[in-house]
């Protein structure tokens, strides 16, 4: 009985959409004619799509490595101070803001006015206090715009990594750390030789979660640049194919590819998570 209702909802809300999406991905624009692998061919040959794939890779590398390592550093550092809760709350706060709102806030941070006119964007206002430095159009300048967007993602998600990693950190038995200290290990050695290996599972779970999130990254790009000037990502491209061009086939093909890319990560994550539960 209980199983039945769960299966029912899984079928209606998960399995049916997946199967239908996969089916649509082999059909053309109006979902009538069969086009074989045409939509997939498009995804991997179209110049805009290739740019999006490249940017997703950049996001994947920078976003995942920085959120996880920054989260870990903050977790370890705040663990030792009296105002830990306050410090962690500050870092975690951006998580409470919706991504769209966060993106809007950051658009103000990145706001650009021509040189000589009072800057209202915080970053350019800071730059303008140094004589001789020109304001930067953060979202327009193709040298920095991708990094500006990734920075916003990091700002939002670091708090999440920190909280999980901090919980993992608290899970390390104090006796082990005490013993190491008595044996004369420096804090640096404790971090590298004890904390890091013991938190390995947690770090991997957090990192894989971040990978899943980054593959789906959409809101920030959609709100801040809509993929203009070389900032396109695949999820935004999927949205455009679907809602702007009404090409359900291509949108579905992108969705299927995203799903396939995420599945191994999820499988790995679930296995790791189980392993971790056994350890604890």
Q: Which residues contact 19 (CB under 8 A, 6 or more apart)?
A: none
Question: Which tokens belong to 185?
Answer: 């290990």
- Residue 47 as a binder of another protein (CB under 8 A): the answer is yes
- Residue 229 as a binder of another protein (CB under 8 A): the answer is yes
Q: By rule CB under 8 A, what count of residues binds another protein?
A: 26
Question: Which tokens belong to 258?
Answer: 């995203």
Tell me the window of 86-94, 111-119, 158-166, 190-198 that interacts with another protein (CB under 8 A). Answer: 111-119
- Residue 226 as a binder of another protein (CB under 8 A): the answer is yes
Tell me the window of 61-69, 90-98, 112-120, 259-267 that interacts with another protein (CB under 8 A). Answer: 112-120
The binder of another protein chosen from 13, 85, 245, 271 (CB under 8 A): 245
| Exposure string over 107-144, b if 16+ CB within 10 A, otherwise e | bebbbbeeeeeebebebbeeebeeeeeebbbbbeeeee
Question: Which tokens belong to 85?
Answer: 């809760």
Q: Tell me how far, at minimum, the Cβ of 2 lies from another protein, in Å.
A: 22
Nearer to another protein, 51 or 276 (CB): 51
- Residue 11 as a binder of another protein (CB under 8 A): the answer is no
Q: How far is CA 4 from the centre of its chain?
A: 34
User: What H or E segment, with its residue span, contains residue 189?
Assistant: helix 187-189
User: What H or E segment, with its residue span, contains residue 199?
Assistant: none
Chain residues that interact with another protein, rule: CB under 8 A: 30, 47, 111-114, 117, 137, 139-142, 222-223, 225-226, 228-229, 239-240, 242-247
């Amino acid at each position: 009985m209980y199983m039945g209702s769960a299966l029912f909802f899984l079928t209606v809300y998960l399995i049916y959409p997946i199967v239908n999406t996969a089916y649509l991905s082999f059909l053309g624009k109006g979902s009538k004619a069969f086009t074989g692998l045409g939509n997939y061919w498009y995804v991997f040959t179209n110049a805009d799509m290739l740019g999006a794939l490249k940017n997703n890779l950049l996001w994947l590398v920078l976003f995942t490595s920085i959120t996880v390592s920054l989260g870990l550093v903050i977790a370890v550092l705040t663990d030792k101070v009296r105002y830990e809760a306050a410090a962690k709350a500050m870092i975690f706060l951006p998580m409470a803001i919706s991504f769209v709102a966060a993106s809007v806030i950051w658009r103000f941070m990145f706001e650009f006015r021509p040189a000589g006119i009072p800057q209202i964007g915080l970053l350019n206002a800071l730059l303008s206090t140094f004589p001789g430095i020109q304001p930067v159009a953060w979202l327009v300048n193709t040298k920095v715009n991708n990094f500006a967007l990734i920075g916003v993602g990091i700002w939002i998600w670091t708090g999440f990594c920190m909280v999980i990693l901090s919980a993992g950190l608290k899970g390390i038995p104090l006796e082990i750390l005490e013993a190491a200290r008595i044996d004369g290990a420096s804090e640096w050695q404790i971090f590298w030789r004890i904390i890091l290996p013991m938190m390995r599972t947690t770090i991997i779970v957090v990192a894989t979660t971040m990978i899943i999130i980054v593959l789906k990254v959409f809101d920030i790009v959609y709100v801040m640049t809509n993929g203009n000037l070389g900032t396109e990502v695949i999820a935004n491209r999927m949205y455009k194919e679907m809602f702007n061009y009404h090409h359900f086939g291509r949108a579905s093909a992108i969705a299927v590819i995203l799903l396939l890319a995420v599945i191994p990560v999820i499988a790995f994550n679930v296995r790791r998570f189980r392993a971790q539960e056994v350890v604890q």
